[in-house]
Structure 1
Amino acid sequence: MKRVQYDRYGGPEKMYFGECDMPEVGDNEVRVSVKAAAINPFDWKLRRGAMKLITGRRFPKGMGTDFAGIVEATGSNVGSVSVGDEVFGTVDFKKSGAFGEAVVVEASHTAKKPPQLSFAEAASLPIAAMTAWVAIIDRAQARPGARIFINGCCGAVGAFAVQLALARGAQVAGACGSASRESARTAGVAPVFGYSNAQAYTRQGTYDAVFDTLGTLDVGHGFSMLNPRGVFVDINPTPTRLLRGMLSRRYKLAFATMGIRHLHEIAALAGSGTLRPAIGLEAPFTDALAVIADAETGRRSSGKTVLAF
């Protein structure tokens, strides 16, 4: 089986197309023929060694976490999906390997693909939508009348966060780049601010939750934007941010892995149109090395970049 892999931690130059043997399908696993795989910043952070204390030094390692495809085989304990089902899901980051022709994954890390979605759209859901779910529904507890501020409201996670918050009846304000402001307004964000206008974020009052998708909002400033019971939700916990945030019960962390159990709910919302994936670029798997490198070095399109098989 061909996949994108690497033999040591490092930059884009460490990636190459390699052959690997498929592992046996465990009792609780499925083997999926990959039809599309979405690129996430997390993928190249893993290759750079950001989690090497957990991922270890056994090489070669495959790249890629989010995928959509067709089930080829199931383990003896799997009853949620069957051979031939169209599914989407995410690979445990300690294994990765979604940028390949097939992948073996825990059945609990998959959900049936809504028929309304293409494979590329479904592959764009897992990490971004799971992160947004944990942040907006579990941590911010979005509800009718709640006021939520999203820093980076037009990014992959931010866009899903906006959609989830609005679906729960919350009012959403946010910050984004100047080129994205009109699309943010169209999505229902009001008011929309530029990143350089941080002192104006509370012009219309404080918030029940501030969600920083980018790691660029000062934690102290974020706290100042909250009402007395508000929470600051972070997905980029550097040591400095953690130290500052952990001194307050209002600081909450949100990670995609916390949202795996919500994949079926995410699938239902995507099927109904409540969650709307945005594809910026769909490229053939044969171009994977160049496409990943482009995304990693900042040459990105608006919307998700997806590899098609």
Structure 2
Amino acid sequence: MKRVQYDRYGGPEGMYFGEYDLPALGESEVRVSIKAAAINPFDWKLRRGAMKLLTGRRFPRGMGTDFAGIVEATGSKVTKFYAGDEVFGVLDFKKSGAFGEVVMVDSNHLTKKPAHISFSEAASLPTAAMTAWVAILDKAAARRGSNIFINGCSGAVGSFAAQLAVAHEARVAGTCGPTSRDRARAAGVDAVFGYSDKQRYAKNTKYDAIFDTLGTLGIEDALSMLKPKGVFVDINPTPGRIARGMLSRRYKLAFAASGLKHLPAIAELASDGTLWPTIGLEAPFSEALSVITDAETARRSYGKTVLTF
């Protein structure tokens, strides 16, 4: 079987198509034939070595975490899935390899794909939607009448965050680029600002929660925009931001892994149209190396980039 892999941490030049063998199927595992895999910034951050203290130095390592496909086989203790089921899910980042033909995945990292959405759409959901769920519902506690500001409201995570907030009857404001403003409004963002409109959005209103998807909003700036009990939710922690945030109970971190338990609920919301991914590019697996490089270096279209098999 073939996958995208690398033999050392570093830049995109280290990626190549390599042959690999799957281990024996574990009793709680599912073997899935990949039909689509979505590219996330986390994928190349892993390859660069951002988590090497946890991922170690055992090579070659596969790339990719988010995928959709068809179940080939299940372990003896798996009762929720059967051969032939259409599913989507996310690999543990220590076992990346979704940019490959077949994967082995823990059954708790999977859910069934809604019948009327494509494999590419399903593959675009896991990491971005789980992150948005944790940020907007678990940390920000979006509810009817709450005011939420999303810095980067048109990206993969930001657009899901806006959709979830609107579904819970919150009022949403946010920033995005000029070409994305119509899409942000379509997702339910009431007040759309440019990234440089700080004077305008900082004075727009006081917010119950601010969600920074980009890591570009200063903590002091964010805290000044909050109501007394408001929270600033961050997904781009740097040592400096964490150190500063520890001084305030209103600074909260959101991680996709915490949203794994919400994967079935995410599937339901995608099924009824509450959540919808935007795909900017679908490309065949044979073009994976150049497509990943383009995504990594920002030479890509709006929306998720998906590899198809």
TM-score interval (norm. to shorter): over 0.9
- Identify which range, 195-204 or 35-44, moves more after superposition: 195-204
Structure 1 CA distance, aligned partners of 2:205 and 2:256?
A: 30
CA RMSD across the alignment = 0.7
Q: Deviations over 1:185-209 (max 9, x none)?
A: 2222121111111122133320000
Structure 2 CA distance, aligned partners of 1:25 and 1:138?
A: 34
- Identify which range, 202-211 or 25-34, moves more after superposition: 202-211
What does 1:161-200 align with in structure 2 at a 5 Å threshold? Answer: 161-200=161-200
Structure 1 CA distance, aligned partners of 2:201 and 2:224?
A: 10
Structure 1 residue matching 2:189: 3-state secondary structure: coil
Report the Cα offset of residue 184 of structure 1. 1.3
Report the Cα offset of residue 61 of structure 1. 0.1
Report the Cα offset of residue 181 of structure 1. 1.4
Tell me whether 1:251 sits opposite 2:251 in the alignment.
yes
Structure 1 CA distance, aligned partners of 2:135 and 2:28?
A: 28
Letter in 2 for 1:157: V
Q: Deviations over 1:54-93 (max 9, x none)?
A: 0000000000000000000101111111111000000000
What does 1:125-164 align with in structure 2 at a 5 Å threshold? Answer: 125-164=125-164
TM-score, structure 2 as length reference: 0.99
- Identify which range, 58-67 or 186-195, moves more after superposition: 186-195
- Identify which range, 175-184 or 216-225, moves more after superposition: 175-184
Report the Cα offset of residue 284 of structure 1. 0.2
Q: Which residue of 2 aligns with 1:271?
A: 271
Structure 1 CA distance, aligned partners of 2:204 and 2:44?
A: 39
Tell me whether 1:237 sits opposite 2:227 in the alignment.
no
Letter in 1 for 2:44: W
Structure 1 CA distance, aligned partners of 2:165 and 2:184?
A: 14
Structure 1 CA distance, aligned partners of 2:81 and 2:151?
A: 37
Structure 2 CA distance, aligned partners of 1:52 and 1:293?
A: 20
Q: Which residue of 1 aligns with 2:26?
A: 26
Structure 1 CA distance, aligned partners of 2:6 and 2:90?
A: 19
Count of residues in correspondence between the two structures: 309
Q: Which residue of 2 aligns with 1:82?
A: 82
Letter in 1 for 2:61: K
Structure 2 CA distance, aligned partners of 1:120 and 1:193?
A: 30
Q: Which residue of 2 aligns with 1:301?
A: 301
Q: Which residue of 1 aligns with 2:16?
A: 16
Structure 2 CA distance, aligned partners of 1:138 and 1:109?
A: 19
Q: Which residue of 1 aligns with 2:284?
A: 284
Letter in 2 for 1:43: D
Structure 2 CA distance, aligned partners of 1:205 and 1:59?
A: 51
Structure 2 residue matching 1:144: 3-state secondary structure: coil
Structure 1 CA distance, aligned partners of 2:52 and 2:72?
A: 31
Structure 1 residue matching 2:4: 3-state secondary structure: strand
Report the Cα offset of residue 277 of structure 1. 0.9
Structure 2 CA distance, aligned partners of 1:228 and 1:306?
A: 41
Structure 1 CA distance, aligned partners of 2:181 and 2:236?
A: 23
Structure 1 CA distance, aligned partners of 2:146 and 2:75?
A: 44
Structure 1 CA distance, aligned partners of 2:73 and 2:187?
A: 40
Letter in 2 for 1:141: A
Q: Deviations over 1:272-306 (max 9, x none)?
A: 00000111000000000000000001101111000
Report the Cα offset of residue 178 of structure 1. 1.4
Report the Cα offset of residue 23 of structure 1. 1.3
Structure 2 CA distance, aligned partners of 1:187 and 1:113?
A: 22
What does 1:69-108 align with in structure 2 at a 5 Å threshold? Answer: 69-108=69-108
TM-score, structure 1 as length reference: 0.99
Report the Cα offset of residue 242 of structure 1. 0.6
Structure 1 CA distance, aligned partners of 2:203 and 2:187?
A: 21
Q: Which residue of 1 aligns with 2:55?
A: 55
Q: Deviations over 1:122-172 (max 9, x none)?
A: 000000000000000000000000000000000000000000000001000
Q: Which runs of 5+ in 2 are unaligned?
A: none
Q: Deviations over 1:210-237 (max 9, x none)?
A: 0000001111100001000000000000
Letter in 2 for 1:198: K
